[in-house]
Amino acid sequence: MKKTIATLSLSILLLSSAFSQDDLKTFVLGLKFAPSIDWMKPNSLNYKYDGVILGYTYGLVGDFAIGGSGHYFINTGLQFKSTGGKLTYDDKVDYDGGGLTDATVFRRYKLRYISIPISFKLKTAQFGRMTYYGNFGLDNSIRTKARANDTYKLANSSEVSPKEFEINKEVSLFKESIIIGGGAEYTISGNTKAFAGLIFYNGFTDVLSGSNTEFPTVKENAVNKSLELVIGISF
């Protein structure tokens, strides 16, 4: 947590010092927090979707104005994202150190990323204190941590739930997603605005890199998707 706060503070200072007083009208810096619903869509044989999990994203966001109309922006940021999903599949597991045994695995993935989204943002004219926007672009994420929580259903129908464990080697380092979203801004005073909206992250790259023990020819493959409820403030 201390490292995260230090990174955010340093990023704010660097971004703020990168622009002179005359440039502030063409650049807007803000903070966001976004609870999310996250899931994974498997593309491997005998791997099945098993439900959603709750995630979150927080960090810095910035709008760079394009032209002088005030309607077109490049939106980016530095964000920390907790996501994942649930899958079920057949495999061989060693849950007690006694050797491999057949089981159906119910796995909950807990994935952490540093994210740098880049999107094209369109804003309407201001109506009273309200402005509406839509954005479309690409989210670029780097994995920082990956853990799993498994439940094994054994051949005798009993269930075993080992402790949560690390799976960094089974999760791809990079993740790419298409961003589609929209929302509204409310002018509080001057350049200070509160904003809220929805963003859908449509992942299109494989987030898994492991293989199945029972079926060695089956390579694990799944994409990650998220729907965020974004709230934040800009200055």
Q: Whose CA is closest to 134, among 125, 149, 144, 122?
A: 122
The reported pLDDT for the residue numbered 234 is 96
Q: How far apart are the first and last CA of the chain?
A: 24
> How many Å apart are CA 202 and CA 52, to the nearest integer?
15
pLDDT by residue for the chain (235 residues), tens only, comes to 445 445 444 444 444 444 444 444 689 999 999 999 999 999 999 999 999 999 999 999 999 999 888 899 999 999 999 999 999 999 998 887 778 889 999 999 999 999 999 999 999 999 999 999 999 999 999 999 999 999 999 887 788 887 789 999 999 999 999 999 999 999 999 889 999 999 999 999 999 999 998 888 889 999 999 999 999 999 9
Structure tokens at 192: 């200070």
The whole-model pTM stands at: 0.87
The reported pLDDT for the residue numbered 217 is 87
The residue type of 29 is L
Structure tokens at 154: 């054994």
Structure tokens at 158: 């009993």
> How many Å apart are CA 175 and CA 150, to the nearest integer?
23
Most distant pair of Cα atoms in the chain: their distance: 72
Query: Considering the domain 31-87+109-148+166-210+225-234, what is its CATH architecture?
Result: Beta Barrel (2.40)
The reported pLDDT for the residue numbered 25 is 61
The reported pLDDT for the residue numbered 24 is 41
The reported pLDDT for the residue numbered 135 is 96
